[in-house]
Every structure is written in structure tokens, then in C-alpha cells.
Amino acid sequence: MTSEAADDLRKLVYPETYFVGLAPPEMRLALLSRGILAPTRRPLRYLELGFGSGFSLNVHAAANDGAFWGNDFVRAHVDGAASIASISGADAHFLPDSFTELLKRDDLPTFDVIAAHGIWTWVPDEDRDAIVEILKRKLAPGGAFYVSYNNTAGWASVVYLRQMMKLYLAERGGGADVADAVAFARSLQSAGAAYFKENPTAAAEVALMGKRDPVYLRQEYFLDDWKLMSLAEIEDALGPAGLQFGAQFPLIMHDDELVLGERGLAIIAKCETPILRETVRESFQGMGFRQDIFVKEASLLSPDERREHFRAERFLLTTQSRNVALKGGSPWGELDLRARGCVPVMQAFEAMGPGPHVLKDIEASLPDINIDDLISRIILLAAVKVVRPALSVEEERAASKRCAALNAYVLGLPGGAAVLASPVLGAGVDISPLERALIVSQAAGKVTIDDCAAEITRACPGELNGRSAHQVAASLHADHLPIFRAMGLIPS
Ligand SMILES: C[S@@+](CC[C@H](N)C(=O)[O-])C[C@H]1O[C@@H](n2cnc3c(N)ncnc32)[C@H](O)[C@@H]1O
């Protein structure tokens, strides 16, 4: 491949995506869960490296009180993201620089949060070095670095699958494409190649490839740069910038009772170093993709300080308790929210009205539950997205106009499912086509169940699955409307 062709492949226009783990309140909760205080400076200074479509950055810039910066060396990404920021009026700066060019700028502030989602594994060594240098110079003490990457514990076997498909494409030159390489891998699998029997993760990957986005497939499997790492290797790489592991996403990984069980907990109890303890967790998790938060000069909280910070946090119940599936499967066994004591906590939220509610008020209404148990239950409910962390009232006020403008723009675009910016959560909210119909009709001042049914019939009749539009509209009004109002997605 010529170097220009390799460059073209690296500079693909990336599809529009949203990642909730990049939202400042979600990071704050993940760190607090592990007894670490997230950056408290307001306005927050936030930098997203390689922002792609920039949609996550735009949502977070609209929904939080701060200055949001980002870089991406694909011009179309920068122009697209900047035009959306001009709609919301957020304090956002989209730079067309590469990571090495970013280091040469003298107009960057120091940042409280730096984030790199979908970058670390897929760039060459010199870019990883530039990122470490950015963190060294530009992440403030107490600051947090979010990084996601492909993880050895879950994906080691996929290294070989990738090599095999790349070799096939190299041999065929311009006469084959990604789909041919996938078909080649499948032909080996159906001919009984032992590799696929020995490595079920690789077999499952090949099975999924037909459903994957083609840009994702090219970036994951056919770029030259692709370095799988373990948590310990990432911590080593970030050491020169003064960073240490802090916490990880998704929050369900914080649930040692579920993920490690008694035997895993007994092993952890005998490990002396934090990194070995985390490596034990990593081995029980067995994930192919990790999302971690590293911290610089972390503010570690004592158990009492952690309790006090939790008490002051606001949370929003995002699903009516009657609609929550109390039992569900997980890779580590069944998760039973009732058995884990979550039902009275949800009921306490409901008894206090739509919210958000400060945890100390929930604590006061549940005198039989001690604060440490209550915190564990809240983390579990947050892990299954039944509650979400919320901003302070002052931050919420500052964000609501920006979110309204961004959401009006998003709802004006064609399409079904969408992500809207919540000034209450400081984050994006996924909405289904039916939920969108409810929000669109409310935003147009058409507030009755009949209005909503008419919008469903117009916009997404294919979603009804045999139910009447009126029936679905009535249940959206009963179950979703109060929650969307509480999230600030519908003007009150
Ligand atoms: C896999 S995409 C991830 C995009 C986004 N963070 C997301 O997760 O949706 C990687 C992004 O990093 C950008 N990128 C890769 N190498 C870069 C570099 N050296 N400097 C700036 N941007 C880079 C690409 O243009 C692309 O938008």
C-alpha cells in the first residue's frame, strides 16, 4: 500500500456516534465510586482527542458548564462539529490539528478532563507518545484522563484473525475488499479450521462482522496500527505523565459481588499492590474493550469523605420502577435487583416525585438502610441505568438554553432513534423513534395523547408492532413523559 493510500485509510470520515462514558457527571460518579474526587473546577476545561463526528463533544459542551475543546485531523469532522456548536452556542473549540500539532499550540489552557475514545489502540506509537506528552503538559493536577482501548484479557485471540484477514487482502491487492476478507475467514471456519474452535471469541467476531458498520470494520481490522494492551501496560505507558488508574466503565464492573464472587474477592484480598488487584478484576471481567479513567495526583477520599460526597450527589430515576426488569442475565451470572435491595430505593425516589433527588434526602426516607448499603445499591442502579447522576441546580440552569437549541436541531433532522442533550444529566439520552414522536409533539405544543398518536402514525407507524397508536401514545404519556420532563428534554 502506498503511504497516501495508508493515510486515506487512516483519515476516514467517522460515523456519528455518542458515548455516555465521556460525560463529565458519569466520570465523576465512576471516580467517586472508587473513592476519588473528580475535578471540581467550574467552568470545567475539557479536551477530547480525535473527536470523530464530534457529536459527543457537542452534547457535553451544550449540557455542561465549561469550555470544551477537541482536535481531529479530518477537516470534515472539524467543520461538521463546529457548525453544530454554533447552533447550541456552547463554548466549544474544534481544532483541525493532529496530536503532534496540538503540542505545538500555545493557546491551549490546562484541562481538568482529557478524553480519548476509540484512539489509543488504533494509532501509531508516535501518536501514543504525543498523547502522553499532552497529558504531561496539559492535564491539571487532580485531572482525569478517559481512555478506551482493546484489552488483552478478552481479545488476545482476535490478533490472529486480524493478521489472517490482512494477509488475504495484501495478497489480493486492489482485487478484494473487506467483505472478501471476511468471507475468506468464514471459509476457513466452515472448513473446520481448529483456530475457530479453540478461540470462541474470534468465532463470535466473524459471525458478527456482517452486521458491523463498514467504517468500524476497516478501522478495527485493516489498519496497520492496532496495539492490544492490558491495564498494567496502559498504566506503564501513562506513568511518565504522572497518571495512575482511577476507575472504569461500565459501572457494573464496580460490582465485585457480581463480577468476582466470593472466590475472586478472596484472591483479591491477598493481593498487595493496586495494579495486581485490578489485574485480577480484569481477568474476571474478560472484556475485549476497556474504558478507564486515569488520574493525575488523585484526591483520594477517606471512607467518611466518600460518604459525604455521595450524600451530596443528585440522582434521577430514569425508569418507572414498575417497568424495571428486576432480574437479568450478565456474563457473570444472574443479576437480581430485588435480592440486592434496589426496590425500596426506587420506591423512595418515586415517593419524592420526579426528581432529581439528593442522596441525603433518599437516605433520610430509608432509615433502615445504612449509608454504605445505600451507596452500593445506587451504584448498582446506576450501572443498569435505572438512575443516572445529575448536575447541580446552578449547572442545570446554565445548560438548559443550549440543550434546547441543540435538541431542536437534532429533532429537525430526518430519522428515528436519536440522542438528545439533557441539561439535568449533563449528558446525552438515547431516545427511540416512539419516544421521539412524543417529544416532537410536546415541543410543538401538541400535548394530548391524541396529538402524540397522530405523530406516531405520521413518523413511525412501523414501530407499533400490532398495537394501536393511541394505546402506545397513552403508555408513553404515563411512563415516559414525566421522566423526559425531569430530564429537561421537554419544555415545562
Ligand atoms: C476511531 S475514530 C474515533 C472517533 C471518536 N472519538 C468516537 O469514538 O466516535 C478515531 C478518530 O481519531 C482521529 N485521529 C486519528 N489519528 C489522529 C491524529 N494523529 N490526530 C488527530 N486525530 C486523529 C480520526 O480522524 C478519527 O476521527
Residue 31 — pLDDT band, cuts 50, 70, 90?
very high
pLDDT of residue 6: 46
pLDDT of residue 1: 41
Peptide bond into 250 cis (omega under 30): yes
Cα(442) to centroid(ligand 1), Å: 37
pLDDT at residue 251 is higher than 70: yes
Mean pLDDT (the chain) is 94
Q: What is the mean pLDDT of residues 149-177?
A: 92
State how far the Cα of 315 lies from the Cα of 332, in Å rounded to an integer: 27
Cα(172) to centroid(ligand 1), Å: 28
Cα(50) to centroid(ligand 1), Å: 4
* Residue-wise pLDDT tens digits, 201-211: 999 999 999 88
Q: Are 386 and 317 in contact (CB under 8 A)?
A: yes
pLDDT of residue 355: 87
Which of 349, 353, 274 has its CA nearest to residue 36?
274
pLDDT of residue 5: 45
Cα(283) to centroid(ligand 1), Å: 28
Residue 224 — pLDDT band, cuts 50, 70, 90?
confident
Q: What is the mean pLDDT of residues 88-101?
A: 97
Cα(51) to centroid(ligand 1), Å: 6
| Percent composition of the chain: helix, strand, coil (DSSP 3-state, to 5) | 55, 15, 30
Q: Residue ranges of the domains in the chain?
A: 3-153+227-300, 157-221, 313-390, 395-486
45 has which bridge partners?
67
pLDDT of residue 132: 98
State how far the Cα of 279 lies from the Cα of 441, in Å rounded to an integer: 50
Q: Please give the grid coordinates belonging to residue 133.
A: 506528552
* Residue-wise pLDDT tens digits, 5-25: 445 545 555 557 899 999 999
* Ligand 1 atom with minimal separation from the 15 CA: 9
Choice from 56, 68, 73, 419 to test ligand 1 binding pocket (greatest atom count within 8 A of CB): 73
pLDDT of residue 181: 93
* Ligand 1 atom with minimal separation from the 123 CA: 16
Show Cβ contacts of residue 483 under 8 Å, excluding neighbours closer than 6 positions. 316, 317, 318, 319, 320, 354
Provide the percentage of residues in the chain whose pLDDT is more than 70.
Answer: 97
Least confident of 176-190, 262-276, 428-442, 471-485: 176-190
Q: What is the mean pLDDT of residues 239-248?
A: 97
Choice from 57, 69, 72 to test ligand 1 binding pocket (greatest atom count within 8 A of CB): 72
pLDDT of residue 61: 98
pLDDT of residue 178: 87
Residue 190 — pLDDT band, cuts 50, 70, 90?
very high
Least confident of 117-121, 212-216, 409-413: 212-216
* Residue-wise pLDDT tens digits, 55-89: 999 999 999 999 999 999 999 999 999 999 999 99
Q: What is the mean pLDDT of residues 47-54?
A: 96
Residue 330: phi and psi, rounded to 5, are: -150, 165
Q: What is the mean pLDDT of residues 92-120?
A: 97
Q: Exposure string (b/e) for 352-365, b if CB count within 10 Å is 16 or more?
A: beebbbbbeebbee
Which of 3.40.50.1970, 3.40.630.30, 3.40.50.150, 3.30.540.10 is the CATH number of 3-153+227-300?
3.40.50.150
* Residue-wise pLDDT tens digits, 310-337: 999 999 999 999 999 999 999 999 999 9
Q: Are 67 and 41 in contact (CB under 8 A)?
A: no
Q: Are 266 and 217 in contact (CB under 8 A)?
A: no
Q: What is the mean pLDDT of residues 452-473?
A: 95
Q: How far apart are the first and last CA of the chain?
A: 57
State how far the Cα of 138 lies from the Cα of 112, in Å rounded to an integer: 9
Residue 475 — pLDDT band, cuts 50, 70, 90?
very high
**Backbone φ/ψ region at 332: left (φ over 0), alpha (ψ -120 to 50), beta:** alpha
H-run or E-run covering 203: helix 200-208
pLDDT of residue 27: 98
State how far the Cα of 263 lies from the Cα of 257, in Å rounded to an integer: 10
Provide the percentage of residues in the chain whose pLDDT is more than 90.
Answer: 88
Q: What is the mean pLDDT of residues 241-249?
A: 97
Q: Could you say which DSSP state residue 187 is in?
A: H
Q: What's the distance, CA 318 to chain centroid?
A: 17
Would you say the CB of residue 64 lies under 6 angstroms from ligand 1?
A: no
Peptide bond into 356 cis (omega under 30): yes
Would you say the CB of residue 127 lies under 6 angstroms from ligand 1?
A: yes
Q: Could you say which DSSP state residue 333 is in?
A: S
